[in-house]
Amino acid sequence: MNRFTRLLASGTTAALAAALLLAPSPGEAAPAKRKTTFTAASRATITPGVMAYTAGAQCTANFVFTDAVGGVYVGYAAHCAGKGEATDTNGCGTASLPLGTKVDFVRGGSLVSGGTRLGGGRLAYSSWLTEKKIGITDPTTCAYNDFALVKVDPKDVKKVNPSVPFWGGPSGLDTNGLRLGDQVWSYGNSSLRAGLTVLSPKLGAGLGDAASDRGWSHPLYTVTPGIPGDSGSGFMTAGGKAVGTLSTVALAPLPASNNLGDLAKELAFAQKHSGIKGLQLTRGTVAFNGRL
C-alpha cells in the first residue's frame, strides 16, 4: 500500500587539524566494524514479516540489515512511503514522504484494529527518492527498484532478530534470480487478512523472468496470493537465500501473480547511493527449514 544531510568539509585549518587528530596513527589499525547483537528469535518482536505502518498505510517488512557502526534497519517497499495510489508503482514519477518519516512496527493490525505497536524507526533510505535525486530515468529501474530501509530506533534494537519466522533464514543473498518453477518461501500478513497469522507462511513458484526486465523483476505465484499490505515482503529461494521483495500484484498478463524486485540489485543500488556505510543483509540466527 502507498503511503542527507550531507556534511560539507569547510577546508579550514581547524577542520584539517581535527581530521588529523581523528585519523589513525601510522601503523595503527582502523576502527573495527561494530558488531550488532540480536535478541533470541524466540523473544524478538521486530522481525522479517512484521507489519510496518507509515502515515497510516500498512506494508510488510522483508529482511534485517546492518551498517558499519552497528545501526539496524528493517527493509520494506519504497512505495510504502509513496504519496500516490496503490497503482502508482513507478518510483521515478511518484512523490514520496521524506527521509526521517516515522514508521511503526505493529502486530495484529486489521481493518478494525490498529494492532499492538512493537517499536518504531525512521525512513533512512528510499530507492524512489534516490532515483529522483540522481536523475534515474531508465524505465525498468524506475518500475522495479522498489526498496526502502527503516532505521530502528536505538531503544528498540533489543527487540530485533533477523530470522524469518516459521521458515528461518535468510542464509545469504541469492544473485541468480528465479527460473520457471523455482520454489520460493515468504512470511507476512496484510491487515486485510484480519490478523490471521495462520496465513502468514507462504509458498510459491517462479514464473520465469522476462529478458526485457534485465533481472530486476521476478514474477511468481504463491498459494496465498499477495494482496495490498503484503507489499515489501521478503522472499527466499532454496536453502533460504533472500531473492526479492514484493512490489506489485499483477493483473496482466498473469492475473493474481506477484512481481518481486530483485534484492541483490536493489541492495547494490542502495549500497552505492544511500550513504549508509557497510550496509549489508543480516543472516538469520535460525537455520532455514522449508517444510510446512
- Tell me which of 2.40.10.10, 1.25.40.10, 4.10.910.10, 3.40.50.280 is the CATH number of domain 172-262: 2.40.10.10
> Residue 225: pLDDT band by 50, 70, 90 thresholds?
low
Higher pLDDT, 102 or 223: 102
- What pLDDT shows up at residue 65? 98
In percent, the amount of the chain with pLDDT more than 70 equals 80
- Point out the least confidently predicted range of 26-35, 39-48, 115-124, 263-272: 26-35
Q: Give the predicted TM-score (pTM) of the model.
A: 0.85
| Burial label, 35 (beta-carbon count in 10 A; 0-12, 13-18, 19+) | exposed
Domains 51-162+265-281 and 172-262 share a fold: yes
Residue 205 burial (CB count, 10 A): 16
What topology is assigned to 51-162+265-281 in CATH?
A: Thrombin, subunit H (2.40.10)
- What pLDDT shows up at residue 11? 37
CA 41, CA 269: separation in Å to the nearest integer?
Answer: 29
Ordered by start, the domain boundaries in the chain are 51-162+265-281, 172-262
> Residue 196: pLDDT band by 50, 70, 90 thresholds?
low
- What pLDDT shows up at residue 33? 64
Q: In this model, does residue 252 exceed pLDDT 70?
A: no
Average pLDDT score, the chain: 84
Sign of the C-alpha dihedral, residues 24, 27, 33, 35?
negative
Q: In this model, does residue 26 exceed pLDDT 50?
A: no
> Residue 255: pLDDT band by 50, 70, 90 thresholds?
low
Which neighbouring-strand residues pair with 82? 96
Q: In this model, does residue 251 exceed pLDDT 70?
A: no
Q: In this model, does residue 14 exceed pLDDT 90?
A: no
Q: What is the mean pLDDT of residues 146-152?
A: 97
> Residue 35: pLDDT band by 50, 70, 90 thresholds?
confident
CA 240, CA 278: separation in Å to the nearest integer?
Answer: 22
Higher pLDDT, 102 or 250: 102
In percent, the amount of the chain with pLDDT more than 90 equals 62
Q: In this model, does residue 106 exceed pLDDT 90?
A: yes
